[in-house]
Amino acid sequence: MAPMTPPPGVRPGAAVGGGDGDVTGATVLAELRRLRDSGELAGRLDVGAAAKALARLGDACAAMDVLQGLQQEAADEADPTTWVVEAAHALVPPTEEEAEFDAVAQTEAEFEPEAEVEAEVEVEAEEKGFGAQEPAAKRLRPSPPSRPPWRPP
């Protein structure tokens, strides 16, 4: 999987850089709410999802840089929440678990043996004149009893 690059307007080294000690998580949250309520953005900003993504940066100054980039470069973005999440994700290397999950998902997307096998079986059946068959679960279901079950008097 190719490494993500930050969206335009976000400094690639922002997550590492230090900065103004006056910027706190509360400041970032207040800015998220201000952006949501201001009408400056084309789409709806989900404050909770954006705050969670920005918190992963571990640096309030970097989070404010992302929000500044959103305001300057992506104000016309239809989904500002996704923009913020992707920008924050691009600045933070994935955890070991996320990297493993991404690798598995990539492998599964490239190789889907079940679909290939099913397609081959269907082609073989049609070539031999069997046509489409019902799934085994439908063919093998038990028939209903002809009389009610025995009950003691």
pLDDT (tens digit per residue) in 112-139: 555 566 667 677 777 776 655 555 555 5
Confidence of residue 63 (pLDDT cuts 50, 70, 90): very high
HSE toward the beta carbon, residue 132, CA cutoff 13 A: 2
pLDDT given for residue 127 in this prediction: 73
Summarised one tens digit per residue, pLDDT across range 13-51 is 443 334 445 678 889 999 999 999 998 888 899 999 999
SS in 3 state form for 43-78? CCCCHHHHHHHHHCCCCHHHHHHHHHHHHHHCCCCC
Question: Quick count: other Cβ atoms within 10 Å of Cβ 33?
Answer: 13
Nearest-angstrom CA–CA distance, 88 and 90: 5
CA-to-CA dists, residue 58 to 14, 67, 89, 90, angstroms: 11, 15, 12, 14
Radius of gyration of the chain (CA): 27
pTM of the predicted protein model: 0.51
The SS3 call for residue 96 is: helix
CB-based burial label for 26 (10 Å; 0-12, 13-18, 19+): exposed
Write out the two tokens for 62.
């970097």
Instruction: List the alpha helices (DSSP H) in the chain.
Output: 25-38, 47-55, 60-73, 80-91, 96-110, 113-127, 136-139
Nearest-angstrom CA–CA distance, 77 and 75: 5
Summarised one tens digit per residue, pLDDT across range 78-110 is 899 999 999 998 888 777 887 788 777 777 666
Tell which phi-psi region holds residue 111, choosing left (phi > 0), alpha (psi between -120 and 50) or beta. Answer: beta
pLDDT given for residue 49 in this prediction: 92
Query: Is a pLDDT exceeding 60 seen at residue 153?
Result: yes
pLDDT given for residue 93 in this prediction: 74
